[in-house]
């Protein structure tokens, strides 16, 4: 059924809106999830006309539309309101526009607000939405908030407090776009739809779990933001810990948002709080230097535009998390994430314990690999007999690639995530309790690093990061399963 709704986007002239939001809304329109009864209000500082805004929208969906008429018909639902977030008058104009569009498109007062701009304005916007009667308790009213949700526990708590003055937790959808990715959502199916994994997914059978978010790119044009953020805030506080929670959670009683959220929150609250010594031992950081990949020279992080020349911001973070639950107590969850690594690859390797060998030599452990991107699929390695008169054992791998990998047709995460908001499904969004618990732990690492309590390792662009990350695993007799060859 198609939704009746007005979507208001704050930050409508921004890159995210053009690259992700308009194409995702268009796909929802094409699939009939949005049809006649919807309108989009775009706001930003620039004084755009409706015509110009429509042309921006049309341009962003040209490749997706069946015909120019279809693109134009879709874009006709878009309205623009230039907006200064601090100016009360502008909210009044916004309210009037919303009311007239509600009448025109018969949207039954349903509203979604998308905050896709500098986070320091989120609180101000939420406050005005209420005080100027844009949020008026009629129809459904939902708020989508882009990351970053704060830069530490204090700022995140402050932001949450401000949002909660206008919206309840149930109405707030904190985006983590990784939760919209196919293979991350597939973790539920793999874990809870298969007896073999359902039964083995615990400390008795799993030796360690490895999470890799490797990026080939550097900071590109985002140096100004990134230099104040670093890999830990940019990738670990949110994406890594969200992924970890899906891997570590207990089986929910039912496949429903409330049951899933309750189990995920438990994991966040059971994250092991390291002692000061553990903190120094468990987490390492690095920063890329120049390097050559496939004959192309990449510059060092400190030479990137808008980066402080003596910056100590980490572009690589790696570490060991533990979850103090009955299921996983003592099992290391290793992670690594970095820019300018050997190649792009996001994956999870679940390394099972070794069985007692009767063959006179040790065996390779079984490994379940979940490929998240750029390939999507999974593989399971098991031991088998090599063909021949002799009895010798070798690992065999069962590989599965989703059709989407072959066709490149995997749905855009934002499309699925906006669809969820229209259906009031926050399963794939971060709850405040999750965000709060993650900052509690991340703040401690940030503090140690800010005080220079741990070395900042250099690594060559095109490598897989500092070797100190290998040492984290060696401590537990493990090694990274994925070791891509550098391409100089």
Beta carbons within 8 Å of 103's beta carbon, 6+ residues apart: none
Q: Is 14 annotated as a binding residue?
A: yes
Give the interface size with ligand BG6 as a residue count (CB under 6 A). 2
Give min distance, CB of 197 to ligand BG6, in A.
25
Q: Is 339 annotated as a binding residue?
A: yes
Positions 323 through 352 that interact with ligand BG6 (CB under 6 A): none
Nearer residue to ligand BG6 within complex by CB, 5 or 442: 442
Nearer residue to ligand BG6 within complex by CB, 233 or 431: 233
Give min distance, CB of 306 to ligand BG6, in A.
14
Q: Is 250 annotated as a binding residue?
A: no
Decide if 13 contacts 46 (C-beta within 8 A).
yes
Q: Where are the beta strands (DSSP E) in 322-366?
A: 333-338, 345-352
Binding mask 269-308 for ligand BG6 (x = CB under 6 A): ----------------------------------------
- The closest of 6, 137, 104 to 422, measured between CA atoms, is 6
Q: 90 catalytic, yes or no? A: no
Q: Measure the CA–CA gap between 14 and 83, rounded to whole angstroms.
A: 14
Chain position carrying tokens 């639902």: 77
H/E element, 146: none
Q: Is 156 annotated as a binding residue?
A: no
Give min distance, CB of 176 to ligand BG6, in A.
8
Q: Which residue is nearest to ligand BG6 (CB)?
A: 234
Say whether 152 sits in a helix, a strand or coil: coil
Q: Is 253 annotated as a binding residue?
A: no
Give min distance, CB of 234 to ligand BG6, in A.
5
Q: At what angle do helices 68-75 and 22-30 cross, to 10 degrees?
A: 110
Decide if 213 contacts 239 (C-beta within 8 A).
yes
Q: Measure the CA–CA gap between 231 and 387, rounded to whole angstroms.
A: 46
Q: Measure the CA–CA gap between 477 and 42, rounded to whole angstroms.
A: 54
Q: Is 90 annotated as a binding residue?
A: no
Nearer residue to ligand BG6 within complex by CB, 181 or 272: 181
- The pair of structure tokens assigned to 138 is 């009629």
434 lines the binding site for ligand BG6 (CB under 6 A): no
Q: Is 353 annotated as a binding residue?
A: no
Give min distance, CB of 321 to ligand BG6, in A.
19
- The pair of structure tokens assigned to 172 is 């707030």
Give min distance, CB of 1 to ligand BG6, in A.
30
Question: Sheet of 111-115: strands edge to edge?
Answer: 78-82, 34-44, 3-10, 111-115, 141-145, 172-174
Q: Is 483 annotated as a binding residue?
A: no
- The pair of structure tokens assigned to 352 is 């099972």
Nearer residue to ligand BG6 within complex by CB, 43 or 238: 238
- The pair of structure tokens assigned to 126 is 């939420």
227 lines the binding site for ligand BG6 (CB under 6 A): no
Give min distance, CB of 207 to ligand BG6, in A.
27
Beta carbons within 8 Å of 273's beta carbon, 6+ residues apart: 440, 441, 444
Nearer residue to ligand BG6 within complex by CB, 207 or 415: 415
Tell how strand 345-352 and strand 3-10 pair up.
unpaired
Q: At what angle do helices 22-30 and 413-422 cross, to 10 degrees?
A: 70
Of the residues 37, 83, 128, 239, only one is catalytic, namely: 239
Dihedral of the CA atoms 79, 82, 86, 88 (nearest 10)?
-70
234 lines the binding site for ligand BG6 (CB under 6 A): yes
Q: Is 147 annotated as a binding residue?
A: yes
* Tally: H helices and E strands in the chain: 17, 17
Nearer residue to ligand BG6 within complex by CB, 54 or 234: 234
Q: Is 18 annotated as a binding residue?
A: yes
Q: Measure the CA–CA gap between 325 and 452, rounded to whole angstroms.
A: 32
Positions 205 through 224 that interact with ligand BG6 (CB under 6 A): 215
Provide the H-helix boundaries in 76-121.
88-105
Nearer residue to ligand BG6 within complex by CB, 75 or 243: 243
Nearer residue to ligand BG6 within complex by CB, 215 or 415: 215
Q: Is 28 annotated as a binding residue?
A: no
Q: Measure the CA–CA gap between 254 and 427, rounded to whole angstroms.
A: 12
Q: Measure the CA–CA gap between 327 and 313, rounded to whole angstroms.
A: 35
CA–CA distances in Å: residue 238 to residues 108, 438, 443: 35, 8, 13
Feature table: binding site: 11-18, 45, 84-85, 147, 177, 181, 215, 234, 339, 344
Feature table: binding site for NADP(+): 11-18, 45, 84-85, 147
By CB under 6 A, name the binding residues for ligand BG6.
215, 234
Active site residues: 239
């Amino acid at each position: 059924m198609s939704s009746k709704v007005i979507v208001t986007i704050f930050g409508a002239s921004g890159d995210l809106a053009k690259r992700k939001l308009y194409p995702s809304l268009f796909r929802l329109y094409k699939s009939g999830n949005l049809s006649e009864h919807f309108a989009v209000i775009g706001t930003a500082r620039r004084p755009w006309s409706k015509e110009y805004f429509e042309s921006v929208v049309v341009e962003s969906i040209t490749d997706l539309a069946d015909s120019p008429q279809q693109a134009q018909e879709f874009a006709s639902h878009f309205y623009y309101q230039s907006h200064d977030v601090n100016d009360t008058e502008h909210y009044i104009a916004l309210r009037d526009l919303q009311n007239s569009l509600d009448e025109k498109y018969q949207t039954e007062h349903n509203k979604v607000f998308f905050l896709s701009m500098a986070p320091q304005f989120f609180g101000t916007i939420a406050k005005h939405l209420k005080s100027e009667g844009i949020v008026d308790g009629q129809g459904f009213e939902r708020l989508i908030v882009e990351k970053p949700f704060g830069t530490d526990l204090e700022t995140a708590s402050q932001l949450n407090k401000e949002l909660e003055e206008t919206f309840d937790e149930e109405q707030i959808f904190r985006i983590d776009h990784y939760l919209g990715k196919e293979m991350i959502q597939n973790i539920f199916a793999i874990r809870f739809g298969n007896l073999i994994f359902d039964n083995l997914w615990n400390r008795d059978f799993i030796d360690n779990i490895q999470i890799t978010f490797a990026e080939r790119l550097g900071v590109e044009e985002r140096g100004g933001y990134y230099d104040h953020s670093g890999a830990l805030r940019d990738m670990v506080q949110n994406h890594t810990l969200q992924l970890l929670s899906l891997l570590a959670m207990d089986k929910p009683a039912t496949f429903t948002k409330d049951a899933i959220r309750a189990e995920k929150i438990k994991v966040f609250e059971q994250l092991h709080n390291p002692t000061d010594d553990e903190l120094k031992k468990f987490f390492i950081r690095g920063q890329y230097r120049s390097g050559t990949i496939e004959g192309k020279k990449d510059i060092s992080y400190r030479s990137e535009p808008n980066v402080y020349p003596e910056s100590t911001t980490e572009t690589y973070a790696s570490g060991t998390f533990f979850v103090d639950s009955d299921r996983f107590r003592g099992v290391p969850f290793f992670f690594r994430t970095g820019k300018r690594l050997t190649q792009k690859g996001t994956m999870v390797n679940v390394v099972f314990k070794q069985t007692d060998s009767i063959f006179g030599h040790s065996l390779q452990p079984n490994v379940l690999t979940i490929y998240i991107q750029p390939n999507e699929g999974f593989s399971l390695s098991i031991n088998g007999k090599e063909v021949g008169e002799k009895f010798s054992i070798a690992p065999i791998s069962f590989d599965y690639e989703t059709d989407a990998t072959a066709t490149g047709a995997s749905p855009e995460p934002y499309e699925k995530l906006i669809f969820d908001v229209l259906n009031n499904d926050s399963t794939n969004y971060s709850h405040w309790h999750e965000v709060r618990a993650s900052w509690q732990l991340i703040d401690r690492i940030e503090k140690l690093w800010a005080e220079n309590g741990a070395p900042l390792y250099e690594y060559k662009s095109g490598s897989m990061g500092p070797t100190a990350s290998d040492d984290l695993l060696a401590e537990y007799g493990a090694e990274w399963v994925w070791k891509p060859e550098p391409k100089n």
